[in-house]
Amino acid sequence: EAGVAQSPRYKIIEKRQSVAFWCNPISGHATLYWYQQILGQGPKLLIQFQNNGVVDDSQLPKDRFSAERLKGVDSTLKIQPAKLEDSAVYLCASSQDSGYEQYFGPGTRLTVT
Amino acid sequence: SQQGEEDPQALSIQEGENATMNCSYKTSINNLQWYRQNSGRGLVHLILIRSNEREKHSGRLRVTLDTSKKSSSLLITASRAADTASYFCATDPPGGDSNYQLIWGAGTKLIIKP
């Protein structure tokens, strides 16, 4: 079974620039998550989709972050404009349904200079 | 907000020894999950234990859950170098709706010395 795919793996941008991350979940998984993980901390949920609808985006900084899930499959997360504090690893995960174990992609390491 | 708190923050043991990590949480839960993260394989799900379960095994892993104390422990027996990683507990609080947001701790960093 193919795992969760993410791209790019690494990205370096200057502050105030924009960046987009892509995620392809495991086939058939209804729930998709985007997390932000700062070095030395646990993952922080940014947004959770159930099929193509948003279940929880309470911790998404909506003035600069946006996300969408196309046709209930792939998803993109965008940051515009980026700030220095956005430097982190962005993880995408999917699960069969809410409340089940989550499968994570390799993550995108973002450095904002 | 952080619900789970792993203890210790860091643990270093000799290969072959057992490693025990603890997780304490604040509110009632539906289930508690343990994950492992290392540079080679990223974040990987290890075990999910439901609130009505007290103990669960998977290979060399043993997880216990004490809902009265709001705590869980992860035991790794006969540790190997490949077990070197950060271990996170994540809790799924009952929300009464479809939102099953996991609440993550900061992790225990485990180092296995050869």
For residue A86 the two structure tokens come to 């956005």
Mean pLDDT of A69-92: 95
Mean pLDDT of B64-86: 96
Question: How sure is the predictor about A1, in pLDDT bands with cuts at 50, 70 and 90?
Answer: low
CA angle A100, A101, A107 (to 5 degrees): 130
Q: What is the 3-state secondary structure (H, E, C) of A26-66?
A: CCCCCEEEEEEECCCCCCEEEEEEECCEEEECCCCCCCCEE
Residue extents of the structural domains in chain A: 5-112
Mean pLDDT of A12-24: 98
Give the residue from A112, A107, A92, A101 showing the smallest Cα distance to A14: A112
**A24 CA: distance to closest CA in chain B (Å):** 16
Residue A35, pLDDT above cutoff 80: yes
The CATH number of the structural domain formed by B5-88 is 2.60.40.10
For residue B58 the two structure tokens come to 């998977």
Looking at per-residue confidence, does A79 or B106 come out higher?
A79
- Domain A5-112 in this protein, CATH class: mainly beta
Residue B98: its pLDDT value, please?
46
Residue A13, pLDDT above cutoff 70: yes
Residue B100: its pLDDT value, please?
60
pLDDT 10s digits, B34-74: 999 997 778 999 999 999 999 999 999 999 999 999 999 99
For residue B30 the two structure tokens come to 């539906």
When CB atoms are compared, the residue of A48, A101, A106 closest to B33 is A101
Mean pLDDT of B78-83: 96
Give the residue from B28, B13, B30 showing the smallest Cα distance to B77: B13
Cβ-defined contact of B48 to A101 (cutoff 8 Å) = yes
pLDDT 10s digits, B12-22: 999 999 999 99
Backbone angles phi, psi at B42, to 5 degrees: 70, -155
Residue B12: its pLDDT value, please?
95
Q: Residue A25: exposed, middle, or buried by beta-carbon count in 10 A (0-12, 13-18, 19+)?
A: buried
Residue B95, pLDDT above cutoff 70: no
Q: What is the mean pLDDT of chain A?
A: 94
When CB atoms are compared, the residue of A41, A44, A91 closest to B43 is A91
What is Dmax (Cα atoms) for chain A? 39
Cβ atoms of A76 and A45 within 8 Å: the answer is no
Q: How many interface pairs between A and B have CB atoms less than 8 angstroms apart? A: 50
Cβ-defined contact of A101 to B4 (cutoff 8 Å) = no
Cβ atoms of B56 and B84 within 8 Å: the answer is no
